[in-house]
Amino acid sequence: MTKTGNKTVNIHNAVIPVAGLGTRLLPATKSQPKEMLPVGKKPIVQYIVEELHLCGIERVLFVTGRGKSSIEDHFDDDPDLIRTLRESGKEDLLEELEYERMGLHFLYTRQRRQRGLGDAVLCAENFIGTEPFVVALGDSIIGRHEPSLIVKRLIEAFEVHQASCAIAVEEVPIEEVSMYGIVKPSGEGEVFEIGDLIEKPRREEAASNLAIAGRYVFAPDLFEAIKRTGYDHRGEIQLTDAIRLMLREGKRVVGMRLSANEKRYDIGNFESYFETFVEFALTDPVYGRRLRNHVKELLGENL
């Protein structure tokens, strides 16, 4: 068991699916994974790993795909680079990547064909075995200055409510519901029971504007549910459809709202990527001030 804050959590394994092709971010993602695009000084996926570490996760399985090996390189030691930095007295530049010292271990497996998020999570079955686990989507950062503790709170809710699944949700504008998995809450408050959920509904089908926010805790029976979930019209197995099946079979699924200061940054397209990068760069404690002045000057020139 690991102590995080003043609570003890029992879930230490997390899965980060990073197999998606990132076609909405071409040409930037032609030869590098979208999860490795920088946001400020760090690649996106490093924020997610830092968030999970803070929430008591000790083992992370990346479900990767073709062209994703730079993610493995990023979390691996590079003795040549370390030596060079040591010789020039700049060792501290890699300090925040010393995960082994922090007790965090990485494993990798591949999703061999693009068959959707549900199928990607199913690739983790052998790694997970019979323990509950976390899923954190590889293209969403939650929190700006500090990583969010939503995963820790989800784990607590999962345990307290003896749920089969706990899902983080956020409010989105009603015109955007078709971009997300949308839940139907059957209760009020920060934590609530989910009565139904549907992946990327049309506006008139959406039961709320509460969108699945890329962080989940699951009981291992999810894997059996995924195996019994059919392909959707795009030939993909949706994770949302597998959760829906669990619900229909009488399992308890709870939702938890992100708190007001836990903004989620979705790096799925250029619009959101640019906005996220600009926000993180403008608020960087070292470089932000100078950049803000520069941007003010540029805006004064009526770009």
60 DSSP β-pair partners: 14, 106
199 binds ligand G1P (CB under 6 A): yes
Residue 228 token pair: 């019994």
* CB half-sphere exposure, 57, CA atoms < 13 A: 31
Closest to 174 (Cα-Cα) out of 140, 141, 211:
211
In the bound state, the residue with its beta carbon closest to ligand G1P is: 181
Question: Whole-number minimum distance, CB 137 to ligand G1P, in Å?
Answer: 5
User: In the window 235-274, what residues touch ligand G1P (CB under 6 A)?
Assistant: 239-240, 266, 268
48 binds ligand G1P (CB under 6 A): no
User: In the window 136-195, what residues touch ligand G1P (CB under 6 A)?
Assistant: 137, 140, 180-181
The CA distance from 150 to 162, in Å, is 18
111 binds ligand G1P (CB under 6 A): no
276 binds ligand G1P (CB under 6 A): no
Query: For residues 111 and 140, which CB has a smaller minimum distance to ligand G1P in the complex?
Result: 140
Only one of the segments 50-58, 128-136, 142-150, 206-214 lies at the binding site for ligand G1P (rule: CB under 6 A); that segment is 206-214
Query: For residues 195 and 288, which CB has a smaller minimum distance to ligand G1P in the complex?
Result: 195
Closest to 106 (Cα-Cα) out of 52, 40, 152:
52
Grouping H, G, I as helix, E, B as strand and the rest as coil, residue 250 is coil
Residues 35 and 28 sit within 8 Å (Cβ to Cβ): no
Query: For residues 240 and 276, which CB has a smaller minimum distance to ligand G1P in the complex?
Result: 240
Residues 270 and 24 sit within 8 Å (Cβ to Cβ): yes
The amino acid sitting at 2 is T
Question: Whole-number minimum distance, CB 273 to ligand G1P, in Å?
Answer: 13
Residue 102 token pair: 């922090």
Contact residues toward ligand G1P (CB under 6 A) are 117, 137, 140, 180-181, 199, 211-212, 214, 239-240, 266, 268
